[in-house]
Structure 1
Amino acid sequence: MTHIALTAQSISLRLIDLSDLAAIHVLHSFPETDKYNTLGIPKDLEETKHIITSWVAAHSATPITTYTFAIERATDQEFVGLIGLKLWPQKHRRGEIWYKIHPDHWRKGYATQSVNLVLDFGFETLKLHRIQAGCAVANTGSIKVLEKVGMTREGRGRKVLPLKTGWSDNFEYSILDTDARGE
């Protein structure tokens, strides 16, 4: 498996492995983290294992087209959440990010630092031209993070997210390698 470690002020990112199963299962089991996520709450640990097995396997592919990182607090390596980067075919030089933070770690800057690390990795290491993200229009926390890092809201997809509360519109964000970056 490929070894990638990205570090910022108070967090570090590393590719997930199966030893993260329990922490990821807990993260996926919170109604708060599921509210704007289409994955759903897994019924048991085996369902979570089935989900993350493909994420872990993707890190051994050549070339890697999907990166899934564990976010850990730098001081004690406590699991904070997940952030992923999915790549389009190479000629497009484009990727899409997603993230999910444990509720105990909301509003501490971890999501912003994580997104910035993945943007740096995408633009500087992978030489991407464009990185995009989407979020439910009611997800004010993610909206703040995406705008804080310098992403531009490009539009609104109508009724594209099948959430537990019903179909939700999705804001589409992006940032280019030539754009000014935020915080």
Structure 2
Amino acid sequence: MQISTERLVLRFIELSDLEPVHELHSLPETDQFNALGIPEDITVTRSIIESWIAATKLPEIENYTFVIEHKSNKAFIGLFGLKLGTKKYQRGEVWFKIHKNHWKRGYATEALKAVIRFGFETLHLHRIEAGCAVDNIGSISVLEKAGMIREGRARKILPLKSGWADNFGYSILETDKRP
């Protein structure tokens, strides 16, 4: 399965993605606002990837994990996830992690818009949510450029390396206007 945009391809993660994913997870810059933490070694990253791959093999996928690649040269840009909630609520939650070498090029926004479209048009979701550390200006910008609306602030909910951090909650509804 894959999602295409003008510049990007989002495809299911594979074990062959281990090295670039491990590098991404090991970067202090991408770890700053991420609760996952830097893996001790590549075997930790491998186990994470294996669980993501297994989730995409289920008859009814509830956890989509995509690798983001550039269409022109298949360069690894980052990861994108969409985790579905209980069917009754028709809700999903998105997350993304972009390699620092690809920041500020619009890739995250382009990928998010595509996943939002996929969520509403293909999966028939009613609501898509995201959370973001209040100091993560880059991700805040991405969420807002994609049309997501800030709904609130959860206090000291994220266990970051720097300590407990507040989190902004964002969402977009199937009925909301999308940029």
- Determine if the TM-score, normalized by the shorter chain, exceeds 0.5: yes
Three-state SS of the structure 1 residue aligned to 2:74 is coil
- Give the equivalent residue in structure 2 for 1:153: 150
Q: Which of 59, 69, 77 is residue 80 of structure 1 equivalent to?
A: 77
Three-state SS of the structure 2 residue aligned to 1:42 is coil
| Matching of residues 99-118 of structure 1 within 5 Å | 99-118=96-115
Cα RMSD between the aligned structures?
Answer: 0.5
How far apart in 1 are the matches of 2:117 and 2:135?
27
- Give the equivalent residue in structure 2 for 1:128: 125
> Cα offset for 1:46?
0.3
Identity of aligned residues (%): 58
Three-state SS of the structure 2 residue aligned to 1:154 is strand
- TM (normalized to structure 2)? 0.99
> Cα offset for 1:52?
1.1
Divergent runs of 4+, >2 A: none
Q: Do residues 10 (structure 1) and 10 (structure 2) align?
A: no
- Equivalent pairs, count: 179
How far apart in 2 are the matches of 1:46 and 1:155?
37
> Cα offset for 1:51?
1.0
> Cα offset for 1:9?
1.3
How far apart in 2 are the matches of 1:137 and 1:37?
12
Three-state SS of the structure 1 residue aligned to 2:131 is strand
Q: Which of 10, 18, 27 is residue 30 of structure 1 equivalent to?
A: 27
- Give the equivalent residue in structure 1 for 2:67: 70
How far apart in 2 are the matches of 1:118 and 1:22?
24
Gaps of 5+ in 1: none
- TM (normalized to structure 1)? 0.97
Residue type at the aligned position of 1:114: A
Three-state SS of the structure 2 residue aligned to 1:108 is coil
Q: Deviations for 1:64-84, whole angstroms, at most 9, x for unmatched residues?
A: 000000000111011000000
How far apart in 2 are the matches of 1:167 and 1:50?
26
| Matching of residues 161-176 of structure 1 within 5 Å | 161-176=158-173
Gaps of 5+ in 2: none
